[in-house]
């Protein structure tokens, strides 16, 4: 199978890849949000600890 | 078993236990995702009726199943929190809500993107689609209620009641394709004994189902750890996690 065929998906490429694209964005966002929140919390707790 | 569950209800124990489990869960999840996506999108043959559009199934079906499972778990955690006042259960219910909402959203969007080429329409107000949309609103209502109070325990009680009442919607979604005439196809995988789907499509689907279950578990534990730290930020055990306090568990 060529790259073109793979992306074309027998004419349904736009539907298939939109579905997977939306899913990827949502799932990756959900996995990354706690990482950033952890960093913010950590800074806050460190500041609190010095008081 | 009960003793272990009881210990898991203690925030510091839960925090460490989840922290040790997470790298393994994420690794297993990524491996399954890689295998499942390659198998489903490249190796599996096109469908003789739907061509390649059926490949949306590999994300649509697991997301739809997990949208229901997440709801049942959210209601169970809420019930446990209401009955036994376990803080970790409150945190788990609060943390699984956005994940369940995400899976519901993915199921609805991918279903719509599948419906357009196959049914000729993005959306119909039939039983399956409408009840799944209500599920999304239940999740959003839970999240809104859980964030509406300053006191996290009162918020958890109010939102928990909503979660428990909303459970009636779960069997409605599940059986909607049998109770009413709908455009949505009936169950093909779970028909006992003989699933009416070719093995070459069923196996990659099962791998994707496993992958997304692992995702749910990993993302839930990660969110719950974060939420736990946020709620207990002024407690002794959280401050002991800071480097140089000698406990050894990193705050990350």
Mutation choice for A interface testing from B22, B27, B109 by most A CBs within 10 A: B109
Higher pLDDT, B92 or B246: B92
pLDDT for B89 equals 94
- Interface contact A16-B99, CB threshold 8 A: no
- The 3-state DSSP class for residue B205 equals helix
pLDDT for B251 equals 62
Q: What are phi and psi of B130, to 5 degrees?
A: -65, -45
- Round to whole Å and give the CA distance between B177 and B174: 7
User: Is residue B164 pLDDT above 80, yes or no?
Assistant: yes
- Interface contact B219-A30, CB threshold 8 A: yes
Q: What is the pLDDT of residues A23-36, one digit of tens each?
A: 999 999 999 999 99
How far are the Cα atoms of A10, B10, B121, B124, B149 from residue B3, in angstroms, in the given order? 55, 11, 53, 49, 33
Q: Of A4-13, B31-40, B97-106, B174-183, which gets the smallest average pLDDT?
A: B174-183
Give how far A20 is from chain B: nearest CA, Å. Answer: 7
As given in the structure block, the two tokens for residue A45 are 């707790």
Residue of A nearest to B55 (CA): A16
The proportion of chain B whose per-residue pLDDT surpasses 90, expressed as a percent, equals: 58
User: Is residue B245 pLDDT above 70, yes or no?
Assistant: no
Mean pLDDT of B146-172: 91
Average pLDDT, chain B: 88
CB-neighbour burial class of residue B195 (10 A; exposed 0-12, middle 13-18, buried 19+): middle
Q: Which residues of B touch A20 (CB under 8 A)?
A: 56, 59
Q: Report the predicted TM-score, pTM, of the whole model to 2 decimal places.
A: 0.91
Rounded to 5 degrees, what angle do the CA atoms B215, B131, B196 make? Answer: 65
pLDDT for B77 equals 95
Sign of dihedral through CA atoms B38, A5, B110, B194? negative
- Interface contact A18-B113, CB threshold 8 A: yes
Average pLDDT, chain A: 87
Q: Is A17 on the interface with B (CB under 8 A)?
A: no
pLDDT for B103 equals 97
Residue of A nearest to B116 (CA): A15
Evaluate whether B165 touches B171 at the Cβ level (below 8 Å): no
Q: What is the pLDDT of residues B182-236, one digit of tens each?
A: 778 877 766 555 667 888 889 999 999 999 999 999 999 999 999 999 888 888 8
- Interface contact B42-A20, CB threshold 8 A: no
- The 3-state DSSP class for residue B47 equals strand
pLDDT for B178 equals 80
pLDDT for B248 equals 46
Mean pLDDT of B134-148: 95
Phi-psi region of B210 (alpha: psi -120 to 50; beta: other; left: phi over 0): alpha
Of A16, A31, A46, the CB nearest to B242: A46
User: Is residue A50 pLDDT above 60, yes or no?
Assistant: no
Of A15, A34, A45, the CB nearest to B53: A15
Give how far A41 is from chain B: nearest CA, Å. Answer: 7
Give how far A24 is from chain B: nearest CA, Å. Answer: 9
Q: What is the pLDDT of residues B42-51, one digit of tens each?
A: 998 888 888 8
Complex ipTM: 0.90
User: Is residue A51 pLDDT above 50, yes or no?
Assistant: no
User: Is residue B81 pLDDT above 80, yes or no?
Assistant: yes
- Round to whole Å and give the CA distance between B64 and A45: 38
Q: What are phi and psi of B47, to 5 degrees?
A: -75, 145
Mutation choice for A interface testing from B59, B121, B208, B244 by most A CBs within 10 A: B59
Of A16, A37, A44, the CB nearest to B53: A16
Q: Is A9 on the interface with B (CB under 8 A)?
A: yes
User: Is residue B127 pLDDT above 70, yes or no?
Assistant: yes
| Cβ pairs bridging A and B (under 8 Å) | 95
- Interface contact A10-B51, CB threshold 8 A: yes
- Interface contact A27-B102, CB threshold 8 A: yes
Contacts of B18 (CB under 8 A, 6+ apart): B221, B222, B224, B225
- Residue extents of the structural domains in chain A: 3-50
User: Is residue B166 pLDDT above 50, yes or no?
Assistant: yes
């Amino acid at each position: 199978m060529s790259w073109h065929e793979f992306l074309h998906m027998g004419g349904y490429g736009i539907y298939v890849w939109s579905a997977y694209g939306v899913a990827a964005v949502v799932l990756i966002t959900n996995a990354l949000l706690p990482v950033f929140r952890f960093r913010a919390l950590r800074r806050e707790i460190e500041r609190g600890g010095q008081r | 078993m009960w003793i272990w569950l009881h210990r898991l209800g203690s925030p510091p124990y839960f925090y460490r236990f989840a922290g040790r489990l997470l790298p393994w869960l994420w690794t297993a999840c990524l491996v399954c995702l890689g295998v499942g996506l390659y198998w489903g999108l490249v190796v599996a043959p096109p469908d003789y009726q739907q061509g390649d559009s059926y490949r949306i199934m590999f994300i649509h079906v697991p997301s739809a199943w997990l949208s229901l499972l997440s709801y049942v778990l959210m209601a169970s955690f809420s019930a446990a929190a209401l009955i036994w006042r376990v803080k970790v259960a409150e945190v788990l219910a609060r943390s699984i809500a956005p994940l369940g909402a995400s899976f519901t959203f993915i199921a609805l969007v991918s279903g719509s993107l599948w419906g357009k080429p196959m049914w000729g329409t993005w959306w119909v107000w039939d039983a399956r689609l409408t009840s799944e949309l209500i599920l999304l609103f239940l999740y959003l209502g839970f999240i809104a209620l859980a964030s509406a109070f300053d006191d996290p325990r009162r918020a958890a009680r109010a939102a928990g009641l909503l979660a428990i009442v909303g459970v009636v919607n779960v069997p409605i979604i599940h059986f909607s394709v049998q109770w009413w005439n709908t455009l949505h196809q009936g169950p093909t995988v779970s028909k006992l004994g003989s699933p009416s789907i070719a093995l070459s499509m069923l196996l990659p689907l099962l791998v994707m189902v496993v992958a997304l279950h692992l995702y749910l578990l990993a993302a839930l534990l990660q969110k719950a750890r974060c939420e736990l730290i946020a709620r207990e930020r002024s407690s002794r055990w959280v401050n002991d996690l800071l480097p140089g306090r000698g406990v050894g568990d990193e705050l990350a």
